[in-house]
């Protein structure tokens, strides 16, 4: 073979080798450079031996003989599958949860545990079953925060050895069995019915008490009105009796005077010149002359300031006994007691309708105690027999006695 073809073959192989060397250099550089993301760290092993943790950024590693394992340093979420457990009171329940973890030491997470996510999930499952088994059914349904705290406490110690921190544990659902759910629904329905019946009974009781109070107030007002009516009627009867007595007395005096005048006329027609006149007739004639217009006696009575019809006037004692000066005051009391504030009643009714009657409706027990105290015989109930009897008796007895007692001394004096 001549040297020329050999040189040509060698010259043709050089570009291929150069290309291969360039490719090899590129691969070596690619394998020697490790880029780590900002939210992670990577464990480096060379020939299977742990060397170090690679920080975020560009890292140079031995090519072809090294291997890296990435660890996410952010908070991670692990779903705990639904677990079945038996509570302390032998009630089957199912529950699932979610666990929030964070890698605090990537070296421990790489060397101390295989697949830390799976390990934490399995540990959370067993811990959830254990915690539910130590509690009663009602506690598992009501004390979610306590369950979360217990699970987290049980997970803290083993996960610390793995370089993992359990940030939070949240139980999402705790469901009893279908039979237990039906029993709980029946219990809840019965409890609501019981509360509804109690509230209805309390409402009827309060309504009955309010109605009784209204009837009581109405009876009191009617009794007051009846009492005042009897007092006014008794006073009217007393005044009428006195007026009739005065009229009868005046008419009797006039009849005696007329009869005396007729007797004087008959005496004047007789032959005798001497007449004997009774003192009573003389007194009556003098009193009668006071009312004759144009007479001397009448003029003298007017000069002395005497009234012509004295028998028709009431003195102060008689007016006090009859209660003539207190009629307007009694009528005012009746009007005041019978006065009803319609606007206030409408406001109270509206408040009761809207359910804002806490200030208007009192405690039923307090109302009943107050009613019992008012029904006590030792107290003096309003409008009782003592009040009516006193008013009527004083009006009738006092007025009759005073009228008769006043007339007799006056007649004898005159």
Model confidence pLDDT, tens digit, residues 216-235: 888 888 888 888 788 777 77
Above 90 in pLDDT, residue 239? no
pLDDT value of residue 226:
82
Question: What pLDDT is stored for residue 293 in this prediction?
Answer: 47
Best mean pLDDT range from 151-160, 203-212, 283-292, 308-317: 151-160
The DSSP call for residue 55 is P
Q: Tell me, what DSSP letter sits at residue 56?
A: S
Q: Are 57 and 35 in contact (CB under 8 A)?
A: yes
Confidence of residue 187 (pLDDT cuts 50, 70, 90): confident
> CA 213, CA 209: separation in Å to the nearest integer?
6
Residue 207: pLDDT band (50, 70, 90) is: confident
CB 175 within 8 A of CB 330: no
Q: What is the pLDDT of residue 112?
A: 92
Please tell me whether residue 94 adopts helix, strand or coil conformation: strand
Taking 50 as the threshold, does the pLDDT of residue 281 lie above it?
yes
- What does the alpha-carbon distance between residue 201 and residue 219 come to, in Å, rounded to a whole number? 26
More confident residue, 37 or 287: 37
Please count the other Cβ atoms lying within 10 Å of the Cβ belonging to residue 287.
Answer: 18
Check pLDDT > 80 for residue 83.
Answer: yes
Q: How far is CA 344 from CA 83, 221, 340, in A?
A: 64, 18, 9
Mean pLDDT of 44-63: 92
Could you tell me what percentage of the chain is helix, strand and coil, using 3-state DSSP and rounding each to the nearest 5? 65, 15, 20
What pTM, to 2 d.p., does this model score?
0.47
* Alpha-carbon separation of residue 22 from 17, 59, 230 (angstroms): 8, 22, 134
HEC string for 127-194: HHHHHHHCCCHHHHHHCHHHHHHHHHHHHHHHHHHCCEEEEEEEEEEEEECHHHHHHHHHHHHHHHHH
pLDDT attached to residue 391: 42
- Band of the pLDDT at 198, cuts 50, 70, 90? confident
Q: What is the pLDDT of residue 309?
A: 42
Span 168-179, average pLDDT? 90
Q: Specify whether the CB–CB gap between 391 and 224 falls below 8 A.
A: no
Q: pLDDT tens digit string along 208-219?
A: 888 888 888 888
- Structure tokens belonging to residue 165: 């921190």
For residue 353 the two structure tokens come to 């309708």
Rounded Cα distance, 181 and 141, in Å? 12
Nearest-angstrom CA–CA distance, 218 and 338 = 10
Averaged pLDDT of the chain: 74
DSSP conformation class of 380: -
* Residue that the structure tokens 């691969």 belong to: 27
Report the distance separating Cα 295 and Cα 297, nearest Å.
5
Q: Is the pLDDT of residue 414 over 70?
A: no
């Amino acid at each position: 073979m001549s040297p020329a073809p050999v040189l040509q073959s060698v010259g043709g192989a050089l570009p291929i080798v150069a290309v291969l060397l360039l490719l090899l250099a590129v691969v070596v550089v690619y394998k020697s450079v490790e880029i780590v993301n900002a939210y992670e760290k990577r464990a480096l092993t060379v020939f299977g031996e742990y060397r170090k943790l690679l920080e975020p950024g560009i890292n140079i590693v031995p090519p072809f003989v090294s291997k890296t394992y990435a660890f996410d340093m952010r908070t991670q979420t692990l779903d705990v599958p639904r677990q079945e457990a038996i509570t302390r009171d032998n009630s089957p329940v199912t529950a699932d949860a979610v666990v929030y973890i964070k890698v605090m030491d990537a070296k421990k997470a790489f060397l101390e545990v295989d697949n830390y996510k799976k390990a934490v999930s399995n540990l959370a499952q067993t811990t959830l079953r254990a915690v539910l088994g130590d509690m009663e059914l009602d506690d598992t349904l009501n004390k979610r925060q306590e369950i979360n705290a217990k699970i987290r406490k049980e997970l803290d110690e083993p996960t610390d050895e793995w370089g993992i921190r359990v940030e939070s544990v949240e139980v999402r659902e705790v469901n009893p069995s279908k039979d237990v759910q039906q029993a709980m629904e029946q219990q809840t329905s019965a409890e609501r019915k019981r509360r509804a019946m109690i509230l209805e009974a309390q409402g009827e009781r309060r309504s009955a008490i309010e109605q009784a109070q209204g009837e009581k107030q109405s009876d009191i007002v009617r009794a007051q009105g009846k009492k005042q009516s009897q007092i006014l009627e008794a006073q009217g009867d007393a005044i009428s009796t006195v007026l009739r007595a005065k009229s009868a007395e005046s008419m009797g005096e006039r009849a005696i005077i007329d009869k005396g005048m007729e007797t004087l006329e008959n005496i004047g027609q007789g032959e005798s010149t001497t007449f004997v006149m009774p003192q009573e007739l003389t007194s009556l004639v003098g009193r009668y002359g006071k009312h004759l217009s144009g007479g001397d006696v009448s003029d003298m009575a007017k000069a002395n300031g005497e009234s012509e019809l004295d028998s028709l006037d009431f003195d102060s004692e008689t007016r006090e006994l009859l209660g003539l000066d207190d009629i307007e005051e009694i009528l005012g009391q009746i009007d005041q007691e019978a006065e009803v504030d319609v606007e206030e009643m409408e406001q109270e009714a509206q408040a009761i309708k809207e359910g804002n009657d806490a200030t208007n409706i009192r405690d039923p027990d307090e109302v009943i105690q107050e009613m019992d105290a008012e029904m006590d015989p030792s107290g003096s109930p309003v409008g009782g027999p003592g009040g009516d009897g006193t008013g009527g008796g004083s009006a009738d007895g006092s007025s009759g006695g005073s009228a008769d007692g006043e007339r007799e001394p006056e007649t004898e004096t005159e």
